[in-house]
């Protein structure tokens, strides 16, 4: 009897010990899991911080090279410059690949907004000239010129003329551009914005990114990749396309400035004959234009819409460690004459 009781007590004690061992094992596993998770989070944060510092270091090198090139008159207008070459740096084991894209080989949608000078100008100063020489495009106001350019560019992407006209109106409404024609019928897109999911309202301010154009109620999203090649959103109310960095697939940009009288194929031939170091001035570009296409009419002041140098650039960085990849896009404004630089937009994207 006594022996049986001792065996039961030993069994209970063993069971208690086993339960305690199980509880201790579970607690140890949880502690180990928490420690491992914390360690991974710390490594993740350290890798992310290393990537950011490495990208900032590469960014300083590129900004310095850009400013140096822009200050050199012989390089400022060149098609191929030092900054055009991809840059690869290694900072503490982090490899960063960077490349610079010209930000002025596109039509700036924010130029639809009136410039401060135009807003304060007297009516006589903005009155357009009368058409002459039978050219229907002669004597167009700046607003009419930009309207025709935008619609032509939208048509060149495959968007039909009726939709292009609607998108131009919606774009003006989104930016908050007031119609200068008192006799024009006002178009209210409030209901069109309200019917979207989620409901929206127009921004009534400059676009920060051209991707905002997809917010227009009637914008066909499938055309966005092509539209994004021709349009951009810069923090200025001026469009100045750099003819020295135009590629063949961007030929509609220059064609739009002639309202189609200079075809995209003509522009491609013009680009093929571009000097190796680019056109030094707008006048030298015009000379070659008149030499190659002497019968092409030109009823818009190209000096207002083209340039041979750039001040806006986008710098793309891609930094990589063993576990992480960090990509960034930095939008820069560089004015070498004034010795100023401005980083006006930065976007990050982290990839595990």
Q: Is the dihedral of CA 62, 65, 71, 76 positive or negative?
A: negative
Domain contains 170 = no
In this prediction, residue 77 carries a pLDDT of: 56
- pLDDT of residue 64 exceeding 90, the answer is no
Domain contains 142 = no
H or E stretch covering 251 = helix 251-257
In this prediction, residue 22 carries a pLDDT of: 85
DSSP 154-203: HHHTT--HHHHHHHHHHHHHHHTPPPS-TTSPP---HHHHHTSSS-----
- pLDDT of residue 41 exceeding 90, the answer is no
Give the span between the Cα atoms of 148 and 261, in whole angstroms: 12
Domain contains 87 = yes
Domain contains 7 = no
Residue 129 pLDDT grade (very low, low, confident, very high; cuts 50, 70, 90): very low
Domain contains 148 = no
- pLDDT of residue 218 exceeding 90, the answer is yes
Residue of higher predicted confidence among 129 and 281:
281
Domain contains 93 = yes
Residue among 216, 238, 235 nearest 227 (CA): 216
Residues 31 and 62: beta-carbon distance below 8 Å: no
In this prediction, residue 250 carries a pLDDT of: 92
Q: For 334-338, what is the mean pLDDT? A: 79
In this prediction, residue 295 carries a pLDDT of: 64
pLDDT tens-digit profile of 232-282? 999 999 999 999 989 999 999 999 988 888 899 999 999 999 988 888 888
Residues 297 and 102: beta-carbon distance below 8 Å: no
Instruction: Indicate the number of domains in the chain.
Output: 1
pTM equals 0.81
In this prediction, residue 169 carries a pLDDT of: 94
pLDDT tens-digit profile of 294-317? 766 555 667 789 998 888 999 999
In this prediction, residue 197 carries a pLDDT of: 87
Domain contains 334 = yes
Mean pLDDT of the chain: 83
Domain contains 39 = yes
Q: Is the dihedral of CA 99, 341, 306, 81 positive or negative?
A: negative
Give the span between the Cα atoms of 179 and 186, in whole angstroms: 8
In this prediction, residue 160 carries a pLDDT of: 96
> Residue 85's domain spans which residues?
31-103+311-351
- Tallying the residues shown for the chain, one arrives at 352
pLDDT tens-digit profile of 171-196? 999 999 987 665 555 678 888 998 88
- pLDDT of residue 148 exceeding 80, the answer is yes
CATH number of domain containing 347: 3.30.1300.30
In this prediction, residue 181 carries a pLDDT of: 60
H or E stretch covering 93 = none
């Amino acid at each position: 009897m006594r022996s049986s009781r001792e065996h039961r007590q030993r069994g209970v004690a063993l069971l208690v010990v086993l339960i305690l061992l199980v509880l201790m094992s579970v607690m140890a596993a949880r502690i180990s899991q928490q420690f491992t998770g914390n360690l991974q989070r710390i490594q993740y944060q350290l890798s992310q911080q290393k990537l950011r510092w490495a990208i900032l270091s590469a960014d300083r090198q590129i900004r310095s090279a850009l400013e140096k090139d822009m200050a050199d008159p012989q390089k400022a207008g060149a098609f191929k410059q030092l900054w055009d070459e991809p840059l690869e740096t290694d900072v503490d084991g982090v490899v960063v690949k960077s490349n610079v894209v010209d930000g002025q080989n596109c039509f700036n949608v924010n130029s639809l907004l009136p410039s401060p000078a135009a807003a304060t100008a007297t009516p006589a100063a903005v009155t357009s000239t009368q058409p002459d020489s039978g050219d229907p495009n002669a004597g167009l106001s700046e607003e009419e010129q930009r309207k025709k350019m935008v619609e032509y560019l939208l048509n060149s992407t495959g968007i039909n003329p009726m939709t292009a006209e609607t998108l131009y109106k919606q774009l003006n409404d989104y930016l908050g551009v007031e119609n200068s024609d008192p006799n024009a019928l006002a178009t209210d897109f409030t209901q069109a914005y309200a019917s979207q999911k989620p409901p929206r309202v127009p921004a009534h301010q400059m676009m920060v990114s051209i991707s905002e154009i997809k917010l227009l109620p009637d914008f066909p999203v499938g055309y966005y990749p092509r539209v994004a090649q021709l349009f951009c959103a810069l923090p200025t109310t001026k469009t100045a396309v750099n003819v020295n960095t135009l590629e063949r697939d961007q030929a509609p940009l220059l064609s739009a400035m002639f309202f189609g009288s200079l075809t995209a194929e003509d522009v491609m031939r013009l680009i093929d004959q571009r000097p190796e170091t680019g056109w030094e001035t707008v006048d030298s570009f015009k000379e070659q234009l008149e030499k190659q296409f002497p019968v092409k009419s030109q009823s818009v002041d190209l000096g207002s819409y083209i340039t041979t140098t750039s001040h806006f650039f986008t710098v793309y960085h891609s930094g990589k460690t063993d576990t992480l990849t960090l990509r960034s896009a930095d939008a820069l404004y560089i004015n070498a004459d004034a010795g100023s630089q401005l980083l006006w937009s930065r976007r990050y994207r982290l990839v595990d």
